[in-house]
A and B are shown apart, each in its own frame.
Chain A
């Protein structure tokens, strides 16, 4: 609404043909705002046909270290719409993890503005609007798998029956039904990471932040989990922000690829990537796929030569 777009569009205007899903998301967002304030809702929806899940404007973050200042992020701007799958790719130290941590309010930017789900990052965290998956599963070793899944639910005060229901549902979603009573060390690394994804989903946040979740896994497990993650995204319609080192992984999963470069951490390219939602691993052999991968690679290389 702050973008000053004309309030020309009306939802019930027969002349306006909006795509069906946009129309639906419009309705959803007006309900969220409360129907008594339809004018505002209308402006918002005309400003961007889809609501923004994450809106980053001119964000910079400087660390003070013993060796002096390090620019982890430098004037980064990025808009991510609801339901997108966005990958962040770049060499180590390019600030992609910092970017995710800033969005999660685990770190505070030195300057710039940041909105998550239309609210400040801190408020989004306090209202538990996102789930975070780290490089390592970070399961609590003294809790069974089921109890690990219930942990965020316990903290958020869900009822016992609801906890049980959700633990079962999300374990099933990551194909781990039957492992409820096992302890984390009894599961393989890939299974543990699936549990941590289920845990992040268990309280049904609209936004999923994933920081190299499959980085420590071997190629075969990773491929398998990539396919599962894609199905999960398709089924749940969540917005996913995904940090990775791997070009094929980024191209295969994403609707949008953000290429970043280090020192100072900044965005050098944003690539749209619209393969059908029910894609399989085979698309990795197609010319379209290779073309996008090539563009990512060129972007990464450009970032590096700039640096040296």
Chain B
């Protein structure tokens, strides 16, 4: 009886509230909406004096509504309103040919290539270091402090040095950026994979010993598969860091293309809207990259029979 009563109420009132799409997206939509409202209020408050000064300089009379309207349509506002950012973003993504220097697609592609190459190098380096650390106590003691030290130096200070040194030996363009990106992103992978490679149960390791498995077999059949969940967790961290690394690497190198170059140009000329549009592009890129890692992880997990 209770069952049928439940079924009735489900099919009766509140159909919208129980719709799976609603259940899934309502909380996210609420947060986004709240953020947009806060953003508009902040834009009005921050740009208010700027717009007022403008009116007063030109000695034209103004009303409150004109003032508020002005804060949302200024050409170089302190904080652009969301619709300005979005229209600039849409304009620079779809308004130009993908190869045009004003196209965000072009700049994103430049940064993306450095990010992906840096991520690949960083992942290889990170996994390689983890393997060395796991297999040798001496290496663990000698390498680990340096690895940790490497992350304590601010990358903004290091990046120009990297670029100059690499430029001196004839490396320019994509590679220096990728190396800076790799330098940032190998760290979470090393830490994660050291944990992952040592994750197997002592019993599983003992079993391998009773079968007198070679170290290589222990690695490929036990340590490596045990480390896979740790691998994906650290890859997700690493791929966002490598994007940040690639963008940061574009700042001091005087790069002409890339999201970093776009940010730099925007700040030179006070084009705040352009800066925000570039930031939005970086965010879109980052979520795309994480989504890609996530998708790969799901595929691998299905292969490995992970309980879902």
Which A residues have a C-beta under 8 Å from some C-beta of B? 104, 106, 125-128, 130-132, 134-136, 138, 140-144, 151-152, 154-156, 183, 185, 203
Q: What sequence of 0s and 1s flags, for each residue 204-239 of chain B, a beta carbon within 8 Å of any chain A beta carbon?
A: 101111111100010001100100100000000000
Pairs A–B under 8 Å by Cβ, sample size 26: A106-B209, A125-B209, A125-B210, A126-B212, A127-B212, A128-B211, A134-B206, A138-B201, A138-B203, A138-B204, A140-B204, A140-B222, A142-B228, A142-B304, A142-B306, A151-B221, A152-B211, A155-B208, A155-B213, A155-B217, A155-B221, A156-B211, A183-B305, A183-B307, A185-B305, A185-B307
Minimum Cβ distance to chain B for residue A191 (Å) = 16
Q: Which of A131, A132, A155 has the most CB of B within 10 A?
A: A155
A104, A141, A143, A154: the one contacting B210 at CB < 8 Å is: A104
Besides A152-B211, A154-B221, 17 more A-B contacts (Cβ < 8 Å) are A106-B206, A128-B211, A131-B210, A132-B207, A134-B207, A138-B201, A138-B203, A140-B204, A140-B221, A142-B304, A142-B306, A155-B211, A155-B213, A155-B217, A155-B221, A183-B307, A203-B211
Chain A contacts for B225, CB-based, 8 A: 140, 142
User: Which chain A residue shows the least CB distance to B222?
Assistant: A140
User: Which chain B residue shows the least CB distance to A106?
Assistant: B206
Instruction: Please tell me the size bucket of the interface on B.
Output: 20 to 34
Which B residues have a C-beta under 8 Å from some C-beta of A? 201, 203-204, 206-213, 217, 221-222, 225, 228, 304-307
Give the distance in Å from the alpha carbon of A81 to the alpha carbon of B254 in the complex. Answer: 81
Chain A contacts for B201, CB-based, 8 A: 138
Give the distance in Å from the alpha carbon of A144 to the alpha carbon of B303 in the complex. Answer: 10
User: Which chain B residue shows the least CB distance to A136?
Assistant: B203
Say yes or no: B210 contacts A132, CB within 8 Å. yes
Give the distance in Å from the alpha carbon of A302 to the alpha carbon of B213 in the complex. Answer: 42
Give the distance in Å from the alpha carbon of A134 to the alpha carbon of B305 in the complex. Answer: 23
Give the distance in Å from the alpha carbon of A156 to the alpha carbon of B210 in the complex. Answer: 11
Give the distance in Å from the alpha carbon of A132 to the alpha carbon of B210 in the complex. Answer: 7
Say yes or no: B210 contacts A106, CB within 8 Å. yes
Chain A contacts for B206, CB-based, 8 A: 106, 132, 134
Minimum Cβ distance to chain A for residue B213 (Å) = 5
Give the distance in Å from the alpha carbon of A203 to the alpha carbon of B207 in the complex. Answer: 13
User: Which chain B residue shows the least CB distance to A151?
Assistant: B221
6 nearest interchain CB pairs? Answer: A183-B305, A142-B304, A138-B203, A132-B210, A152-B211, A155-B213
Chain B contacts for A127, CB-based, 8 A: 212
Give the distance in Å from the alpha carbon of A185 to the alpha carbon of B209 in the complex. Answer: 24
Chain B contacts for A143, CB-based, 8 A: 305
